Amino acid sequence: MEFTHRTYEKGQTIAAVATPPGEGGIAVIRISGDEALDVADKIFSGSIHSYKTHTVHFGNILDENGAFIDEGLVIVMRTPRSYTGEDTVEIHCHGGTLITQKVLKAALRSGARAALPGEFTCKAFQNGKIDLTKAEAVQQVIASKNSLAMQAAENQLQGKLYKTIASFQQKLTDIAAILEAWVDFPEEGLEFASHEEMLTMLTAIIERMQHLLATFHEGKRLQTGLSICLLGAPNVGKSSLMNAIVGKDRAIVTDIPGTTRDILEEEIEMAGLNFRLLDTAGIREAEEIVEREGVRRSIAAAKEADLILLVVDISNPSIDSDLMAILPKGQTLLVWNKTDLKAADELPKLPFEAVRVSAKNYEGLEELKEAVHQIVWKSGPPSKEEVVLTNERHFQSLDRAIQATQKVSLGLQEELSPEFLTSDIRLALKELGTIIGVNITEDILSAIFSKFCVGK
């Protein structure tokens, strides 16, 4: 279904359930806007307007006709000391789908409207409580599936990305001021900075922006995760290895070659990242049509995978030459499996990093995970203090800002008139502004916040 755009209006009173659906100890219904106190006053037994900000009160929650729904608590947070920057009331009732929907319905029938996805956070942005990078970080924190992704999101939530972008803006603004002075006072003989000094300043800011841009490759990994494909001949123990890694009997294991016909998939966390672990059909010349299709899918999955675990039976180390031809050296880890059996007298020399495991006896799994870590993080994972780009929108805007700044540098080298250079530097400043939410369009806001959950 297409997202139907609706303008986010400041001050309009909205309500939504802010806790996950289902049964639980408590549920929270959030109301925010100019009439939040009036709405809450209609459905709570106490006098909402008399309560001081940031105080908690016990009472009865009522429907729009005054009928009892539940006992609960209300928390009043008056403007501007609230998450949204507006008057906000949170109603805490017993958890449960029926109760929460009754309380929400009472709020909606008393003057609030149902909140759009991310509308509370959008209000916080519109009212200057947070910049756009922090707003986007809220959803990233909620959606984080591993510790490194959460670390990157928390850095952004703490304002580290905003400060970095703001520092770029400040440097470019200083350069723009000098260029404007050259335009406005060409005959005055004022020397604000030489061409050489300007080029040095531009080179430094371009290098800093490019360094941040280069973190996107790792940052995207943190958010989206990677895929690992278990590949090899039939009966080398791929399914047993998958079961050992995930810690449960996910794949069927038998002594019959070709047991796995289709791709099995399981989500795991390893090396600080989320992975899609894929168990595939054994690679061999197959006559039966279903197995042939399984082999085709296995090869296709290997070509799309971020990392391949080439599983080989150490007691019978035969490897298909056609299979070797499709294996990328930097993305393949050789796994000698079945170390519980006697190894062959001579093992083939292969151009891959290798580990030895016994999937049957759960031996060598830690060494396998460490080897995966070394391949994924060749230069080590991001540090806790490092600012990492994880958002495609930020990447695109920063890339355009770099290109515009490079044009300014090239124009200076070619001694172009300052009038031509100021337009490019304004474009760079505009692109940086879109990252933190300056001069952002309503359509972009809609696209960003529509991905949020309702109630946040």
Closest C-alpha among 372, 362, 139 to residue 274: 372
Tell me how far CA of residue 415 lies from CA of 159, 401, 420, in angstroms: 38, 21, 10
- The upper half-sphere exposure of residue 339, i.e. CA atoms within 13 Å in the direction of its Cβ, equals 14
Q: Does 236 count as an annotated binding residue?
A: yes
259 known member of a binding site: yes
Would the annotation count 248 as a binding residue?
A: no
Ligand-binding annotation for 456, yes or no, is yes
The answer to the question of whether 378 is labelled as a binding residue is no
239 annotated ligand-binding residue: yes
CB-based contact 319:218 (threshold 8 Å): no
What is the 3-class SS of 114-137, one letter each residue? ECCCCHHHHHHHHCCCCCHHHHHH
The one-character DSSP state at 415 is T
Q: Is 281 annotated as a binding residue?
A: yes
Report whether 100 belongs to an annotated binding site.
Answer: no
Question: Quick one: tokens of 256?
Answer: 């019959």
The verdict on whether residue 102 carries a ligand-binding annotation is: no
386 is in an annotated binding site: no
Q: Where are the alpha helices (DSSP H) in 289-417?
A: 289-304, 321-325, 365-376, 392-413
Angle at 360 between CA 355 and CA 365, to 5 degrees: 35
User: Is residue 257 annotated as involved in ligand binding?
Assistant: yes
Residue 364 annotated as lining a ligand binding site: no
Can you state the angle between helices 392-413 and 418-436, rounded to 10 degrees?
A: 170
Alpha carbon 188 to its chain centroid, in Å, reads 52
Tell whether 417 is in a known binding site: no
Sequence letter at residue 395:
F
Answer yes or no: is 235 a known binding residue: yes
User: Which amino acid would we find at residue 219?
Assistant: G
Q: Is 215 annotated as a binding residue?
A: no
288 is in an annotated binding site: no
- Consult the annotation and say whether 11 binds a ligand: no
Tell me the binding residues for (6S)-5-formyl-5,6,7,8-tetrahydrofolate.
30, 90, 129, 456
Tell me the binding residues for GTP.
235-240, 254-260, 279-282
Tell me the binding residues.
30, 90, 129, 235-240, 254-260, 279-282, 456
Tell me the binding residues for K(+).
235, 254, 256, 259
Tell me the binding residues for Mg(2+).
239, 260
